[in-house]
Amino acid sequence: MEERADSLPSSRSELEQLPGIGQYIASAVLLTLYNQPEPLVDVNMSRVLERFFGSRKLADIRYDPYLQTLSRRIVNSERSLQVNWAILDLGALVCKNGTPLCLQCPLRAKCKFYKQRTLRQVELPIARVAEATTVYVVASSEDVCTSRTSGSTEIVSSPYSDLELSMDDTPMVDAPSTPE
């Protein structure tokens, strides 16, 4: 840091040469400090993308070309930070490991995982909520994850609480071809 006048490099290759900086931290720096559209691929994002589009080929999410290409295509927008937050929140709150809340997912109509579970007639978990039902919305014209409870809309685990969202203009991307 002393050599760089207390600033972080603005390229992935330079960042990853610094001690303790791997793919995820490099992506986070490029995304948050330099507004470069980088995916924050962790287990939550990986799970959401794989369930929606199809499975990866390699065990390590950092090196899987299918998952890396797909995640880059999805976050490639002017609002890539919000898209990342939306996917990460969806994975943590709805598309959970083990027991996903598929019936609460706004993407279930086009989700491969949901369709396969429905075809196999596997019982899907239903969350019981005392007074109001919360619906999570991922993707809108702003590509953000929101929760709606009793007619109000708010951002879930995200600093962007001033956005109003709807599912009417849901952008979708095609998954890249899976290498055989």
What pairs with residue 135 in β-bridges?
148
Closest Cα to residue 82, out of 21, 164, 152?
A: 164
Q: What distance in Å separates the CA atoms of residue 115 and residue 96, rounded to the nearest whole number?
A: 17
CATH number for the domain formed by residue range(s) 37-155: 1.10.1670.10
User: Mean pLDDT for the chain?
Assistant: 78
- For residue range 73-89, list pLDDT tens digits in order: 999 999 999 999 999 99
Mean pLDDT of 1-6: 62
Q: What distance in Å separates the CA atoms of residue 89 and residue 118, rounded to the nearest whole number?
A: 24
- Widest distance between CA atoms in the chain: 60
**177 confidence band (pLDDT: 50, 70, 90):** low
In this predicted model, which residue has the larger pLDDT, 152 or 18? 18
- For residue range 22-46, list pLDDT tens digits in order: 999 999 999 999 999 999 999 999 9
Angle between helices 65-75 and 43-53 (to 10 degrees): 90
In this predicted model, which residue has the larger pLDDT, 169 or 23? 23
Angle between helices 80-93 and 65-75 (to 10 degrees): 120
Look at residue 179 in the predicted model and tell me its pLDDT: 56
